[in-house]
Amino acid sequence: MKHLPRVLIVEDEPAIAELIQVNLKHGGFTPVLAYDSVAAQRELDAELPDVILLDWMLPGQSGLSLARHWRKQERTKGIPILMLTARGDEPDKVAGLDAGADDYITKPFSTQELLARIRAVLRRRAPESPGDRVTVGALVLDAATHRIAWQSQELKLGPTEFKLLHYLMKHPERVHSRASLLDKVWGDHVFIEERTVDVHVKRLREALGPAGAMVETVRGAGYRLTGMMAKTPAAAASPES
């Protein structure tokens, strides 16, 4: 029997939650409802979903706080999270992405856009082709086992950061524009803003630790991965606004 991706909907407004539930069911997903953080955690403890749709404003613990918490937990840190919110300003979007969300959907949104974004994060989560092992300097990525090591020390990356690093390592020393990265890594840049790339690059650098200096910002052009460690902190500067 074909596996239907399980989607946990964490939304405190019953009318919105049930509408999303019906549309997901018709779209080929298995939706599960939770109206607050306690119910959401209970569902996660029972069975892990393939994707989480997380409302920002929830009674008790906010969606932002939940996203941060789940990203820190070994069991849940790899689950794609799409933040649902009426907050459409850029600082709010950046806050959502920084909290660990993989994507950000502003209310009101169309059913087709929602389904497209869910499918997109599932594609990004899909493993790369088996046997794909890439080495740049002391950084080694093995796509078959989904492991990254720096100087033989294993590193932990989220699914989007893993795919971003994999692409950069397969094309070292080349400068990639934000638009190019959206196209090659996300593949659904019709919906995602270029600012999203900056947030994920920042998150990637933090996860890489000392190796984060290998991901260089090329002013006015984009990013590149170099096998040569930077001599100054400038190369590891924060992404451009």
Whether 101 and 151 map to the same domain: the answer is no
pLDDT tens digits, 61-96: 888 889 989 988 888 888 899 988 877 666 777 777
The amino acid at 167: Y
Whether 18 and 100 map to the same domain: the answer is yes
Whether 32 and 97 map to the same domain: the answer is yes
The Cα 121–Cα 7 span in angstroms is: 12
Average pLDDT of 23-39? 93
Q: Can you give the residue range of the structural domain that contains 32?
A: 6-125
Q: Are 53 and 102 in contact (CB under 8 A)?
A: no
Whether 65 and 175 map to the same domain: the answer is no
pLDDT tens digits, 137-166: 889 998 878 889 998 899 988 888 888 999
Helix (H, G, I), strand (E, B) or coil at 223: strand
Whether 212 and 147 map to the same domain: the answer is yes
State the pTM of this model: 0.57
**Total structural domains in the chain?**
2
What are the start-end ranges of the E strands in 121-232?
A: 133-136, 139-142, 147-150, 153-155, 215-218, 222-225
Whether 117 and 138 map to the same domain: the answer is no
